[in-house]
Amino acid sequence: MHFYKLPTLVFPMALTLITACGSTSGGNVTDIPGHSSASRALTEKDLANATYWINELGTFHLDNGEFNSQYGEGVTQRHKVTLDKIAFGDLDHDGLTDAAVILAWQSGGSGTFKSLMAMRNTGSAPQQQDDILLGDRVQISALSITASQVHLETVSSGPRDPACCPSQQVKQVYILHDGKWTQSADKITDSTVSTASNATFTGIVRKWERFEDTSELQHFVIDDLNKYTLIFLPDGTYRVKADCNRMQWKTAFNICH
């Protein structure tokens, strides 16, 4: 191994660069042992006035925990997003306090779709890393962060439950890995429909790109992929958007392997 002696003038510059890079690490540096610089801690007020995004809705900003936007002329044609629950904890193993947030989204119909958001502490404004759709009218009974794992307990609709009366008890554990939610294999549920093997299948927005007729009489390409989407939900149901129409089915689906 060879060692080289740096010129005397280089050392102060290197020290300056190292110090500058250290100051850009996000979050509350007072949470890290050895850091004496103060940085504002993440608060509930920050999260209630933060910027978020949802695949079908796009980017939006909460104002005191709410977002409202009219998208049509009808009285019910309004997007409404509300802050439902918050849990604080270190999600990315950097020693800083981040947050897991539950948002509830209504778009004029009977559904209330809840999502789990990963919010990183940047030291100024919280920054969303990822989100995952939990389902329609899911009741969140508990939300916490322990050892960088998000523990979520819900009561959701089982495959035979009426829309009014969910009864399926579900415990889930989520981990933020490289800025993306991953669900651990130890998901516990009392239903055989929603299993850990379906974790990579559910919560993904599938968009209709084109139609190809097997008789070759007509083919067409969808001009706006966001108008026609399909999502399989963790509770065994699926949701469809077709242009201005939105549909929710309570019929359970099974994943074929």
Say what percent of the chain tops pLDDT 90: 35
Is 225 domain-assigned?
yes
Per the domain annotation, does 15 fall within a domain? Answer: no
pTM over 0.85: no
Alpha-carbon 16 to chain mean position: 37
Dihedral pair phi/psi, residue 256, rounded to 5° = -90, 135
Handedness of CA 3, 4, 8, 9 (dihedral sign): negative
Domain count, the chain: 1
Domain that holds residue 79: 26-249
Quote the pLDDT of residue 251: 47
Q: How confident is the model at residue 191 (pLDDT cuts 50, 70, 90)?
A: very low
- Whether the pLDDT of residue 194 is over 70: the answer is no
Q: Are 246 and 148 in contact (CB under 8 A)?
A: no
Q: Could you give the CA distance from residue 134 to residue 148 in angstroms, rounded to a whole number?
A: 19
CA-wise closest residue to 122 among 46, 16, 45: 46
Tell me the average pLDDT across 225-249.
Answer: 73
Helices (H), the chain: 10-23, 44-48
| Predicted pLDDT of residue 222 | 75
Residue 4 lies in a domain: no
Nearest to 160 by CA among 236, 48, 226, 77: 236
Q: Look at residue 21 and tell me if it is in a domain.
A: no
* Residue 56 in domain: yes
Place of tokens 């889930």: 172
pLDDT band at 199 (very low <50, low <70, confident <90, very high): low
**What would the pLDDT profile of 140-184 be if each residue is shown by its tens digit?**
999 999 999 999 998 876 777 776 677 778 899 999 999 999 998
Burial of 195 (0-12, 13-18, 19+ CB in 10 A): middle
CB 154, CB 139: distance < 8 Å:
yes
Q: Strand 78-89 and strand 66-70: pairing?
A: antiparallel
pLDDT band at 125 (very low <50, low <70, confident <90, very high): confident
Task: Please state, in angstroms and rounded to a whole number, the distance separating the CA atoms of residues 142 and 171.
Answer: 9
Mean of the per-residue pLDDT values for the chain? 75
For residue 210, the number of C-alpha atoms closer than 13 Å in the C-beta half-sphere is 7
**207 domain residue, yes or no:** yes
Handedness of CA 79, 83, 85, 89 (dihedral sign): positive
Any bridge partners for residue 60, and if so which?
52
Model pLDDT, residue 82: 97
For residues 98 and 120, is the Cβ–Cβ distance under 8 A? yes
What is the average per-residue pLDDT within 183-189? Answer: 63
List 50's β-bridge partners, or say none: none
Query: Is 18 part of any domain?
Result: no
Q: Give first-to-last CA distance, the chain, whole Å.
A: 53
* Residue 8 placed within a domain: no
